[in-house]
Structure 1
Amino acid sequence: MTITAPAPSTAVGTADPDRGHARAAGIFYLVTFAASIPALLLIGPVLNDHNYILGAGPDTRVLWGCLLDFVNAVAGIGSAVALFPVMKRYKESLALGFVTSRTLEAAVIMIGVVSLLAVVTLRQDLAGAQGTDTGALATVGQALVDVRDWTFLFGPGTMPAISAILLGTLMYRSRRVPRFMPVMGLIGAPLLLTANILTLLGHNTQLSAFSAIATLPIAAWELSIGIYMTFKGLKPAAVNQ
């Protein structure tokens, strides 16, 4: 007589031990969207005006954008930390890699934030001051903006593809979310990496149609799991993974 081990209980009245982790991770994912999109709009003046550092720019608006980018960075780490206790059961090295990728993305984002804060500080301290070399100041300001542009390529532009490979593989194997979701991430990752490599080599731009198309599957993947985990949690763990 063969006795089959019962599946983990998910009956009514039995608490799902992973529900809290999933909800926290989902909320953090949604926060990254809620923070990063308006942040990009708010910092637009300093990114698009080459003489921003010399004029009377909307510093308060830019500072709010930098604050939202900071929130985005912290939320990215939070999403990975919240999922780690669950995902490490399936492949701890991949789960740890996911945490590391989100942490690295946050660190690169913060370099860009600090660069823009430096532009604002220099504008407030030196723009219009007697004896200021406006040409040199404009050059420094543009250099700091260029640093931020490169951080955008390597941070939120590239690291989500690495994260999608790591977490997408874990989610696909564990079947804790509908499988079409990690498939979107696993398909989108090489597309986004290709677009960014071409941008790095000068054969593409971050604002090109190809870059926009390559970004969509990753964005859909992250938004879908954010919504799913926030409102539904994770699917029950299968027996004999």
Structure 2
Amino acid sequence: MDLRRTGRIFGWLFIGTFVTSIPARLLFIDGAGASWTNMRFVAADASSTSLKWGALLEFGLIVTQLGTALVLYPIARRQSETIALSYVTARTMESVFAAIGLVSMLSLVSVISAMNGASGIEAVALQAQGDSLAHTYEWAFEWGPGLVAGIGNGLLLGYLMYTSALVPPRLALLGLIGGSILILSFLMILAGVYKNGEGPSGLLTLPEAAWELSLGIYCAWKGFRSSSPLAERVRKSEALLPG
């Protein structure tokens, strides 16, 4: 197993999650006619085109998220089968929430189409349906990137990278810190202390975002460290294989 090559693939997939997730979020907000701090459906400002492009990018996010877990698992399980499997599960759950949001936003396309020419009670009902779909997306976003990502990409992945030393331990510590802060921010949002997208939530998201971006860049550039104890165990186990 070429750990450097595997690490580079892992890194590019992680960068892929940034390339897809941020534009998808912006397109969904624009498509619903909403704002960063108030996710709701505003028919007059809604855009089916933005929603469709956002859905395409969100699907790309799901693919890259699952890709990071599948690429890392064969290596990470040699460090801890339980933590490695937990990371795959967390990535899968995060992708499930992304899929819920994707379907909600695509359903909003049908609402926008039906709003054309609608009036009276029909228009009110469609507005309520649109708001419901927008709020469903927002809840999925808060539970996926807001909570599950903190657990999976922050705590679980940070722990795996710290104990395996596949990346510099000081870098991995950022994941443990960022994940903990992101989970705290989610609990604050759930308790109604502030809304997602407001000042405090953005600041508390930065450590986790810095960890994920720096991890992706480091691994895409250098791959996993061949000097790590885990890499040494992998080489020894492969040397014992026949042939």
Percent identical pairs in the alignment equals 36
* Aligned residue number for residue 95 of structure 1: 84
Which residue number in structure 1 is paired with residue 200 of structure 2? 210
CA contact (8 A) 2:6 2:224 kept: no
2:189 to 191, 199, 203: 199
Classify 1:141/1:234 alpha carbon distance in 2 versus 1 (closer, same or farther; 3 Å): same
1:73 alignment partner in structure 2? 62
The number of residue pairs the alignment matches comes to: 225
Measure the CA separation in 2 of the matches of 1:38 and 1:64. 9
Structure 2 distance, partners of 1:51, 1:144, is 8
How far 1:25 moved relative to its partner?
1.1
| CA deviation profile, 1:46-83 (whole Å, cap 9, x unmatched) | 05175534x47321122101111111122111111101
Give the drift of 1:19.
2.5
> Structure 1 length as normaliser, TM-score?
0.87
Amino acid at match of 1:214: L
* Separation of aligned partners in 1, 2:115 and 2:205: 39
Distance 1:79 1:86 in 2: 12
Q: 1:147 aligns with which of 129, 136, 157?
A: 136
Question: For residue 239 of structure 2, what is the aligned residue in structure 1?
Answer: none
The amino acid across from 1:231 in the alignment is W
Bigger proportion of residues as helix: 2
Q: Match of 2:93?
A: 104
- Cα gap change, 1:240/1:113 in structure 2, threshold over 3 Å: closer, same or farther? closer
The normalised TM-score by structure 2 is 0.86
Query: Matched residues in 2 for 1:99 and 1:184: separation?
Result: 20
Q: Quick check: 97-106 or 57-66, which moved more? A: 57-66
Distance between the aligned counterparts of 2:219 and 2:41, measured in 1? Answer: 44
Residue 238 of structure 2 is matched in structure 1 by none
2:16 counterpart of 1:31: yes
Tell me the amino acid that sits aligned with residue 63 of structure 1. K
Secondary structure, counterpart of 1:43 in structure 2: helix
User: Cα distance, 1:130 vs. partner?
Assistant: 7.2
From 167, 190, 193, the counterpart of 1:177 = 167
SS at match of 2:82: helix
Shift of 1:127: 3.2
Q: SS at 1:176's partner residue?
A: coil
Larger Rg: 1
Question: 1:167 Cα shift?
Answer: 1.2
Aligned partner of 2:27 among 35, 42, 45:
42
Q: After TM superposition, which residue ranges in structure 1, 4 or more long, deviate above 6 angstroms?
A: none
Query: Which consecutive unaligned segments of at least 5 residues does structure 2 have?
Result: 235-243
Equivalent position SS for 2:163: helix
- Matched letter for residue 43 of structure 1: F
Matched, 1:226 2:212: no
Q: 1:51–1:138: 8 Å Cα contact kept in structure 2?
A: yes
Match of 2:178 in 1: 188
